A and B are shown apart, each in its own frame.
Chain A
Amino acid sequence: MTTMIRVENVAKAFTLHNQGGVRLPVFGDVNFSVEAGEALVLAGASGAGKSSLLRILYGNYRPSSGTIHITHGGKPVDIVAAVPRTVLDIRRRTLGFVSQFLRVIPRVSALDIVRDPLLARGATPEEASERAKAMLARLNLPERLWNLAPATFSGGEQQRVNIARSFVDPSAIMLIDEPTASLDAANRDVVVELIAEARGKGSAIVGIFHDEAVRERVATRYLDITDFRKAS
């Protein structure tokens, strides 16, 4: 087994300087690792810090202490200590984040949004288009929307564009935050399949799933964040 993520002694607290310097501890003493091909599902009540932990793994939030080694290009790299361009390189080649929300860029079509990661990894424009179209079709996004910018799409349509972009070329590590929140049953099933396929190709998955049925179909292992909260 290949360890893809190794989290050691991570703690996180937010200090709100403009609200009287309030310090909000989230968790402490977080230790775990994730192997290739695993799907680790984060559990714990709302507000326990599941999303914060996911963002810390992505290098988006900075932990107050600790190290997070991401296996990138065959070597462990501490994303906490890495310089910005290394973090960006890790994200481009190794680490994907699937959020509930699509960050809409003015004027860029759904198809181009989905093609983007393929092009960034060196696919030809033709190949990228073909795979992007197949993925949008699989997620039941009407073809008439493909060449439109998703700013005017419904929440569920935007979410599917986002999922298509993330799974068109799954990263070695996928961090997933509530991907099925506003999807119907059919599309939820597609997402569950996509996650299973990515795992089959060796991706390590860490995710938050509100929907219990989805959670049970996806998880190979659970991690309860509440345990770490006590240590904060």
Chain B
Amino acid sequence: MTLHATFPDTALDPAPLLSVAGVSRFYGERIGCKDVSFDLWPGEVLGVVGESGSGKSTLLRCLAGIDRPDAGEVLFRGLDTPLDIYSVPEQERRKLMRTAWGIVHQNPRDGLRMDVSAGGNVGERLMDRGDRHYGQIRERALDWLSRVEISGTRIDDRPRQFSGGMQQRLQIARVLVSEPRLVFMDEPTGGLDVSVQAKLLDLLRVLVRDLGLAAIIVTHDLAVARLLTDRLMVMKDGHVIEQGLTDQVLDDPHHAYTQLLTSAVLSV
């Protein structure tokens, strides 16, 4: 296993991969998230932290194309021409979500097809992007199962026969097999035992670094944020209250709420 880090050469950066401007979403009177703006560069991993109800999952759903924001713009530059994802028809946006980017759900059941084999789950994404050669698809599926440490002998088993940790690793293989430029993760280690979490975290860390992925990871776990992310946004009541380099925000928090969050943790 390597720890190879592929950082972008900042002097050569052409443009951000994702530009988010003024994204807001409301639930009636209540604020889901308000006026969120940031840029994400290729290879950057951004963490969004905050307690339950802070708006981090709402924001992720807006950014990932799942829920249309009430205001604001999400501009993706991973294709030939920049694309405002909410200016195109639903169908085109769905296609983008299946090919150029990936979403890892907290509950693997939301990201997997439970009645399709493990190999089918991984291969489906390849067929979505136009691969047709059955042998090659199966070979790639096998390769990805081994990369997420699932034995090839399980390729024809259905996800419901897998443990929670395996299901989550299978979901990650399904998302990463199509080589997305950008990955969204919502509490990727949320429902797992601590020992299984550690294994998954290490796997994610290595994959993100080796593939040079850009990723946005929502988590309430500051240790997960410390391990996986380069930058951090802290959310409270739908607003981004502090952001910066992950270790800066965690070690020298300036906002009262961030100080409360970091001091409430035993050791991160």
Contact = CB atoms under 8 A, between A and B. Distances in A.
A115 B3 contact: yes
B11 A88 contact: no
B251 A61 contact: yes
B3 A86 contact: no
Contacts of B202: 105-108
Nearest to B43: A85
B256 A17 contact: yes
A168 B44 CA distance: 26
A108 B202 CA distance: 8
A113 B244 CA distance: 26
A73 interface: yes
Contact of A62 (B7, B199, B248, B255): B248
Interface residues on B, range: 20 to 34
B4 A120 contact: yes
B3 A113 contact: yes
B128 interface: no
B193 interface: no
User: Which of A60, A85, A108 has the largest number of chain B CB atoms within 10 A?
Assistant: A85
A60 B5 contact: no
B254 A62 contact: yes
A75 to B, nearest CB: 10
B230 A60 contact: no
A60 B3 contact: no
B9 interface: yes
A87 B245 contact: yes
B245 A59 contact: yes
A49 B39 CA distance: 34
A55 interface: yes
A17 B241 CA distance: 14
Contacts of B44: 84-85
Contacts of A116: 3-5
A42 B126 CA distance: 57
Interface string B220-259: 0000000100110000000000001101100110111001
B254 A89 contact: no
Interface in B1-35: 1-5, 7-11, 13
Contacts of A108: 1, 3, 202
Given A18-B260, A85-B10, A105-B202, A112 B3 contact: yes
Given A18-B259, A107-B198, A120-B5, A60 B10 contact: no
B2 A112 contact: yes
Interface residues on A, range: 20 to 34
B77 interface: no
Given A112-B1, A112-B2, A112-B3, A60 B8 contact: no
A61 B248 contact: yes
Nearest to B245: A84
Nearest to B226: A103
Contact of B230 (A59, A85, A113): A85
Contacts of A112: 1-3
A125 interface: yes
Contacts of B8: 85, 89
Nearest to B44: A85
A125 B259 CA distance: 41
A19 to B, nearest CB: 9
A107 B13 CA distance: 33
Interface string B132-154: 00000000000000000000000
B158 to A, nearest CB: 28
Interface string A4-20: 00000000001111100
B198 A62 contact: no
B252 A60 contact: yes
B247 A92 contact: no
Contacts of A60: 247-248, 251-252
B41 interface: yes
Contacts of A125: 2
A116 B13 CA distance: 24
Contacts of A73: 11
Contacts of A89: 7-10
B251 to A, nearest CB: 6
13 contacts: A18-B259, A18-B260, A73-B11, A84-B245, A85-B41, A87-B245, A89-B7, A89-B10, A106-B202, A108-B1, A108-B202, A112-B3, A116-B5
Interface of A: 14-18, 55, 59-62, 73, 83-89, 92, 105-108, 112-113, 115-116, 119-120, 125
